[in-house]
Amino acid sequence: MKISWNDFVEECNSCHACPLAETRKNVVIYRGSVVAPVMFVGEGPGANEDEEGRPFVGQAGRLLQLLLDAQGFSEKDYHIANVVKCRPPENRVPTDAEAAACKKLLGKQILIAKPKIIVLLGKTAYTLFTGDKNAKMTQIRGSFIEKNGYLILPTFHPAYILRNNNERIKLWQDIEVARRKAEELGLMEPLPAQPDMPTSRPGSR
């Protein structure tokens, strides 16, 4: 049965499958294009996201956007989401139970968004998405894992890069890997020239 986006949004907004629903201001579903070739998935909303109802709008999100813009991504090229759609109190890591409660919604979201490439932002997103608790991000980042017809690419979370700016090149390289694969698959137009990595830090607000 085909799922409509509007029905999906309504299902998310009315969800009380876990205790996070009791403390949220907003359900945080997505930003970007509903249908997109590349999907970016983080762990969960923070304070800015809970306030605005959109993922990755805080400082980490602005860093991600800075890198996406520099790599020539337009809004139609990406769908940005999280493993859980409600903010964990004090920005703690979502529990396994919370991730499990949201798993059905994330599955529906992927079916609607129809990405070919799914970029998992950070170890927590990777663990909650795959169930693999033993992998080290330094070892798995930047290489595709093929699963259920999707190309899954683990990389660092932008919040980690804000704390460790010397590692920015690695996140930049991984976004480039995702972009080049999308080009190779005919999902995005090639860039006319090789872009330079932005070195500025996103401003706070």
Residue spans per domain, the chain: 22-184
pLDDT at 109: 97
Cα separation of 127 and 110, whole Å?
17
Question: Looking at the predicted structure, is the pLDDT value of residue 51 above 70?
Answer: yes
According to DSSP, the β-strands at 145-147 and 117-121 are unpaired
pLDDT at 2: 79
Locate tokens 């595709």: which residue?
144
* Phi, psi (rounded to 5 degrees) for 87: -70, 125
Question: Looking at the predicted structure, is the pLDDT value of residue 139 above 70?
Answer: yes
The 10s digit of each residue's pLDDT in 84-115 is: 999 999 999 999 999 999 999 999 999 999 99
With a pLDDT cut of 90, the percent of the chain lying above it is 92
Dihedral angle sign, alpha carbons of residues 178, 120, 37, 161: negative
- Please, are residues 182 and 117 in contact by the beta-carbon 8 Å criterion? yes
Per-residue pLDDT, averaged over 151-178, amounts to 97
Cβ-based neighbour number of residue 27 at 10 Å:
20
CATH 3.40.470.10 is the classification of domain 22-184:
yes
Cα separation of 119 and 41, whole Å?
6
* Phi, psi (rounded to 5 degrees) for 88: -70, 140
Locate tokens 């996140």: which residue?
171
pLDDT at 160: 96
Going by the DSSP 8-state scheme, the letter that residue 115 receives in this structure is -
- Specify the range with the lowest mean pLDDT, choosing from 76-90, 94-108, 124-138: 124-138
Per-residue pLDDT, averaged over 24-42, amounts to 98
pTM: 0.96
- How far CA 123 is from CA of 28, 42, 43, 134, 183, in Å, comes to 20, 9, 9, 10, 26
**Rounded mean pLDDT of the chain?**
95
